[in-house]
Structure 1
Amino acid sequence: MVAAASVVVAVGTATGMMSALDAGSGSEQAKPEVTGLPRVGQLPVLPTASGRATKSASATPSSSRPASASPARTQQKQQPAAVSAALLYRHSDSKVLDWVRANPGDPRTPVIESRIADQPAAVWFADYTPVTITSRVHAVTSDAAAQGRVPVVVPYAIPGRDCGGASQGGAPDLAAYDAWIDRFAAGLGSGEVVVVLEPDSIAQSDCLSDRARADRFAALARAGRVLKAADSEARVYYDAGHSGWNPAAQQAALLKKAGAGTAASSDGIFSNVSNFHTTSDEIGYDRQVLAALGGPAGLGAVIDTSRNGNGAPADGEWCDPAGRRIGRAPTLSTGEARIDAYLWVKLPGESDGCKGTPGTFSPSYAYDLASS
């Protein structure tokens, strides 16, 4: 496991979020046994849901790269950018909802249901299944449109993902990936959708040769163009790692090569996917990255706040670290300039691989996150 990345632990289809899989192909939802009663103590203030919870995929990065320098926190309060007033979409099928439905009498269920299952989260598409990808994406986006809500979808099939680590997989080559993205885009429809494009694909590209990296970045730039051309309401965000990983200027230079600074491909950047860095640190870092990236003034950032309520562990642990808690509720209205959304890209309770098989739901871990 690379100690540096937002490691997306993936087994079969990948780790982390809920995933929209083919019927019957990804339903090995491990249901861990109840191991004890919940601890008695004061629960955190329940976040206000800005929509319903979404399903995410079997692949989610959980990261830990030593920071070379912590970005300075923003000193000034700026006017918030204009953002959508719509609510985020909650997918009706996920591992946490499976567990809640199957365990109505478990003493942890009310906390897990109200604080995690009822929140919107991303829908991951982490298994390379070109024949069904269009229909699977369409099932999510059409259901969201019918509810008047905005889905968050995560294409996660770039070749060589996770540098051959636990989340390895994806398309066999870039030509196949291009074709998969074309089919993915065909399922978007015409409604508003947030696309978190290929977590770790840019920040964790140092394992590639210069030529392979350039080819990957060209494929990512093309992917953004294809997605935005297919749906004029699609908002596509590119991988900025997180505030404890690459310095902002270095990350911006990589993002620029991947097309993240052009309006034809990009609406901005995402950070902290499956990681734990505080929202304030990510806001400061993302603004630094955007400033260095340049491009249209409308480029913004989205931040994964699913597990960052207590910040990152001091020792840099990334795999289901103890003492973490859920962060701010997902919303498309942050009140922060250039910060377009707080999202739950990694679903709290889905293991990075230490509290269970990667991607499986751990009720004890979910309860700890929701009640600590």
Structure 2
Amino acid sequence: MYGTEAGHRRRPARRAAARRRRRAVAGTALAATVLLAACSSPDDASPRPAQASERPDGSSEAPFWVNPDSRAQQALATAEESGDAQEAELVAAIAEQPAGQWLGTEDPETEARRITEAAQEADRPPLLVLYNIPHRDCGQYSEGGAPTADAYRDWIARVVSGIGDRAAWVVLEPDALAHLLVPGCVPGEFHEEQYTLLREAVESLSALPGTRVYLDAGNPQWVQDPGGMVEPLQRAGIAQADGFALNVSNYQTTEANVEYGTRLSSMVGGKHFVIDTSRNGNGPAEGVGDEEAWCNPPGRALGTEPTTRTGEELVDAFLWIKRPGESDGTCKGGPPAGEWHHSYALELARNATHP
């Protein structure tokens, strides 16, 4: 349906050089390869705590915090230790880019504090994803969420405490508003509760001095008429948020999301938005017969690298909200949702290199 976005992507070889150079061990073949790579300097410091910055040369390497302990980083270390430079280069295309940190449920305060403190030390804001609302995901692969409304309020309060006055960008509750529009997904008696919880979360997070908040608003394939998302966003507190997020964990093209988001913005007070470009380099999978076309579809590619230099007045950033390389669920041969899917990660990077 949509064309590729090869023009927006840089090849993984350039992205891999810095990380491989840092990890190389003298005397190995991989180290020799790295020493021949271009010696670009690390990212420059961000001048404002809540706003991602770019390098002075206009490139967009790591405008947000890169987690050194991510599953992608672990996969990169394994590939490097094996001596497979080609595989390491492909994994590095993912591992070296900043991606969303999806906070857990056990100790969100400590986790949020650890991430924001590490990001502050690196002088880069982290991207946090809050995904714990009750009745989450309509009982599908990522079902769960807080057991009660009060449990969710407590979870949000602990996240807020953990962030404190440090910088953070937050994407709030992927799919929650779109699922409220799906008949039979969230029981009707809980709709008002969900709007209330989202609105309260926006209020708490937006009160933090260094935090930017984006309410998830689905994607243009799911909610095809942006007018249908206006009332849900308003009831969920879009007026107090910095904007909305599109295409989280999906594959719709950047062009389609920009068009959709621009129309939606005009209906909600000119709010800005961010787009998940983590896996949309080849657009969505073709065909409409597969009800799980969104789940580990083959033939996809990494999309535009994270950047705040979008060239679009209303688009604050292209982000990797979904961590590419991690499974959508146990479909099409994938492991459980959120686990590292190595063959799929390699395919995403390889397709981005050779569109």
Short-chain TM bin: 0.7 to 0.9
Cα distance in structure 1, aligned partners of 2:307 and 2:284: 21
Higher relative contact order (CA 8 A, sep 6+): 1
The AA in structure 2 aligned to 1:306 is: S
Cα distance in structure 1, aligned partners of 2:153 and 2:308: 29
Partner of 1:308: 280
Once the two structures are overlaid, the 10-residue window that deviates more, 209-218 or 167-176, is 209-218
Partner of 1:349: 325
Provide closer, same or farther for how the CA distance between residues 236 and 108 of structure 1 changes in structure 2, counting only shifts above 3 A: same
Partner of 1:319: 295
- 1:210 offset after TM fit, Å? 3.5
Provide closer, same or farther for how the CA distance between residues 84 and 102 of structure 1 changes in structure 2, counting only shifts above 3 A: closer
Contact 2:64 2:98 (8 Å CA) reproduced: yes
Residues 76-132 of structure 1 deviation map (CA, whole Å, 9 limit, x = unaligned): xxxxxxx6536211011111111111232235433233311111101001x322xx2
Question: When the two structures are aligned, how many residues end up with a matched partner?
Answer: 288
Contact 1:349 1:365 (8 Å CA) reproduced: yes
TM-score (norm 2): 0.77
1:97 matches 2:73: yes
Residues 139-190 of structure 1 deviation map (CA, whole Å, 9 limit, x = unaligned): 0001101111010001111010001112111111111101110001001132
Aligned with 1:222 (options 193, 196, 200): 200
Cα distance in structure 1, aligned partners of 2:300 and 2:72: 18
The AA in structure 1 aligned to 2:11 is: L
Cα distance in structure 2, aligned partners of 1:84 and 1:141: 14
Question: What SS is found at the alignment partner of 2:213?
Answer: strand
Cα distance in structure 2, aligned partners of 1:84 and 1:342: 11
Partner of 1:258: 236
Residues 12-52 of structure 1 deviation map (CA, whole Å, 9 limit, x = unaligned): xxxxxxxxxxxxxxxxxxxxxxxxxxxxxxxx742676xx9
Cα distance in structure 2, aligned partners of 1:185 and 1:45: 36
Cα distance in structure 1, aligned partners of 2:89 and 2:343: 11
How large is the Cα RMSD of the aligned pairs?
1.9
Cα distance in structure 2, aligned partners of 1:128 and 1:144: 21
1:167-178 equivalent positions in 2, closer than 5 A: 167-178=142-153
Contact 2:169 2:212 (8 Å CA) reproduced: yes
Question: What SS is found at the alignment partner of 1:194?
Answer: strand
Question: What SS is found at the alignment partner of 1:149?
Answer: coil
1:334 matches 2:334: no
Aligned with 1:371 (options 322, 342, 350): 350
Provide closer, same or farther for how the CA distance between residues 84 and 96 of structure 1 changes in structure 2, counting only shifts above 3 A: closer
1:53-64 equivalent positions in 2, closer than 5 A: none
- 1:209 offset after TM fit, Å? 3.5
Cα distance in structure 1, aligned partners of 2:92 and 2:187: 46
Partner of 1:243: 220
Question: What SS is found at the alignment partner of 1:204?
Answer: helix
5+ long unaligned stretches in structure 1: 1-43, 54-82
Contact 1:84 1:333 (8 Å CA) reproduced: no
Contact 1:162 1:204 (8 Å CA) reproduced: yes
1:88-127 equivalent positions in 2, closer than 5 A: 88-104=64-80, 105-106=83-84, 108-125=86-103, 127=104
The AA in structure 2 aligned to 1:232 is: P
Cα distance in structure 2, aligned partners of 1:214 and 1:226: 18
* Runs (4+) off by over 6 Å: none
Cα distance in structure 1, aligned partners of 2:137 and 2:273: 22
- 1:356 offset after TM fit, Å? 2.4
**Which of the pair has more CA radius of gyration?**
2
- 1:248 offset after TM fit, Å? 0.2
5+ long unaligned stretches in structure 2: 1-8, 20-50, 55-62
The AA in structure 1 aligned to 2:77 is: R
Contact 1:133 1:183 (8 Å CA) reproduced: yes
Cα distance in structure 1, aligned partners of 2:93 and 2:174: 25
Question: What SS is found at the alignment partner of 2:177?
Answer: coil
- 1:254 offset after TM fit, Å? 1.2
Partner of 2:53: 85
Cα distance in structure 1, aligned partners of 2:141 and 2:262: 31
Residues 226-260 of structure 1 deviation map (CA, whole Å, 9 limit, x = unaligned): 1122x212110011100101110001221111111
Partner of 2:340: 361
